Amino acid sequence: MAIKRSSPNSKSAAQAKKPEGKKVDSFQAESGKRLVSANAESKETERSEVGIRPQSLEEYIGQKELKKILKIAIAAAQGRKESLDHLLLYGPPGLGKTTMSLILASEMGVNCKITSAPALERPRDITGLLVGLKEGDMLFVDEIHRLNRMTEELLYPAMEDYRLDVTIGKGQSSKTRSISLPKFTLIGATTKVGSLSSPLRDRFGLVQRLRFYETDELTTIVLRTAKILNTKITETGAQEIACRSRGTPRIANRLLKRVRDYAQVEKVDTIDVELANIALDVFDVDKKGLDWTDRLVLSTMIEQFNGGPVGLEAIAAATGEDSRTIEEVYEPYLLQIGYLNRTHRGRVATALAYEHLDYEGYQGKLF
């Protein structure tokens, strides 16, 4: 397969329950990236993830229901000697949408071209990709909800009739030519399926959601990655990393690499649960996968606003973070694990948040 890429009130909110001892707080400042962010940078995708990605559905861990559906689709397409139907994969970042597209191409024995919607600015960008496809090939478009209108409309006849309508010239002298395309499979990936227009979404024959991973699945992923990286790790050590990975394989693999770095510097041969605990505390990732900023948001709400309800702009002003960053980056996971509630009056820290941050007497404050 060829792959082508185009607390108590006396506590300061600023401390936000940071563990004592040696820290590596410079990681976020120097790299500009959160250790527990599920979004991947291009360098990370190209260098790190490619080497550890599974190559077949049998190797792919988790997403059992999705794999069952895709196995049926692959077997049916191969039986009819046809290309796969167009597929839309959606879900939070870091769950394996790109990996799944590469596996599908491998299972079908075809090539897969990879691009992203922001890279398809002009009609000729998507035209060049479509014309270059061969029979049965797959075109993977990441962040497909960000396609501009002109590019999206070019895809309509390409997806339905395998035809590309190209306008030549301008004004009254313009002409439209139709170019026949080989039968291909478009795989779209998005974190915001609701942002797709109905005409585009309805043209996908398969629409599937990727779910967050269970701890046992992430433990298996960490053990597999450690083997590929020639890193010795115990099952309990892998489980500790998995518990702090927010249900996301990309974060699990990233945390494993940071723990491996710590073990190498400390000259420890095998990563066990004790070492994993120490290393992840050093990198300021707690038992629930919260980093310093997550805890800052919660502790600010509790200490300065009595747990809420409090408006988003007030939280942003008190923490020094951008309101949009809080809403789009930090809030989703806090809502998911039940540490934060959104009400019509504002944000409210839950009893679970008080308990996690060791604030005594939280019941009296809440009720």
Q: Catalogue the active-site residues.
A: 97-98, 142, 191, 250
Tell me how far apart the terminal alpha carbons of the chain are, to the nearest angstrom.
60
Spell out the residues 6+ positions from residue 20 whose beta carbon is closer than 8 angstroms to its own: none
Interior/surface letters 124-162, b for 16+ CB within 10 angstroms, e for the rest: eebbebbeebeebbbbbbbbbbbbeeebbebbeebbeeb
* Distance from C-alpha of 102 to C-alpha of 228, rounded to nearest angstrom: 19
Q: By C-alpha distance, which of 90, 121, 206, 91 is closest to 159?
A: 206
* Assigned token pair, 363: 């019941």
* Assigned token pair, 282: 């050093």
233 has which bridge partners?
271
For 362, phi then psi, to 5°, come to -65, -30
Spell out the residues 6+ positions from residue 341 whose beta carbon is closer than 8 angstroms to its own: 335, 347, 348, 350
User: What is residue 48's DSSP assignment?
Assistant: I
User: What is residue 86's DSSP assignment?
Assistant: P
CB count in 10 Å sphere of residue 252: 27
C-alpha dihedral sign at 211, 216, 222, 228 = negative
Place of tokens 């699945």: 217
Under 8 Å between Cβ of 139 and 115: yes
* Distance from C-alpha of 317 to C-alpha of 137, rounded to nearest angstrom: 50
* Assigned token pair, 87: 């597929």
111 has which bridge partners?
none
